[in-house]
Amino acid sequence: MPAHDLDLLIDAARKAGDVARGFVGKTAQRWDKPDNAGPVTEADLAVNDLLHETLIGARPDYGWLSEETEDSTARLDRERVFIVDPIDGTRSFVEGSNTWAHSIAVAEAGVVTAAVVYLPMRDKLYAASLDGGATLNAVPIRADGEDQIARMTVLAARPTMAVKHWRGAVSPTFQRTYRPSLAYRLALVAEGRFDGMLTLRPTWEWDIAAGTLIVTEAGGGASDRLAAPLRFNNADPRTDGVVAGSAHAHAALTSALA
């Protein structure tokens, strides 16, 4: 990993925040994506353009994978690739919430090496580099949590509680809560505010690439729903869900899933 990739991501995230905040309080033009893929706004596209210009301008040899750019197989031939969600939590952005985030990562040979999740409206910048630890606003963070499922608080959507997903066909006993942005859920786990998070649906790489490195560099664990290691920049940029938590919580949750 080039020494300054993380610095580049941090700078780009803050610039993206400036662009996105310019749309706050206004009625941003909005469209619905085909196949019920969710909304997109002119703010998403403006942030995407800014990030592409900033990041590819600085690293023209890197590939590009973004929620708001038509995918190209050219990225598969690149040694390193940017994986970007310009605004993770677009519905929250449209509704005027402050829990949407910019999610930006660099992956090399399938492994994320630098990552930023930035919440502009809260000025919370989570960052990590491979083997370099994780921080929130430049202060080190740690993914600490309970080791007993019954004592855990876990970020998850209601459908994950269905008994069909759990061993013994018994609903888990953890306390469930929710945040719309997957990137923010992962960051909150890395910060130690929640024991774990999980989603069992196929999950786009741009939603989780940055957040999973931040969790693991904070001492936690992250995998797909079957406890398999996560790899990025795949031809089909989706993972088989994601489970993350403190080291103990991650092990307990993956063991409990059917």
Annotated binding site for Mg(2+): 67, 85, 87-88, 207
First to last CA, the chain: 37
Q: Is 213 left (phi over 0), alpha (psi -120 to 50) or beta?
A: alpha
- Cα angle, residue 178 at apex, residues 175 and 180 outer, rounded to 5°: 170
Annotated binding site: 67, 85, 87-88, 207
Q: What count of other Cβ atoms lies within 10 Å of the Cβ of residue 34?
A: 6
Residue type, 132: G
Nearest to 119 by CA among 191, 215, 48, 16: 16
Cβ-based neighbours of 70, under 8 Å, separated by 6 or more: none
Q: Where are the alpha helices (DSSP H) in the chain?
A: 5-21, 42-58, 90-95, 182-190, 205-217, 247-256
Please report which residue ranges of 138-225 form alpha helices under DSSP H. Answer: 182-190, 205-217
Looking up tokens 């998403």, which residue turns up?
44
Beta-sheet strands, E only, within 53-108? 63-66, 80-88, 101-108
Q: Using an 8 Å Cβ cutoff, are 66 and 51 in contact?
A: yes
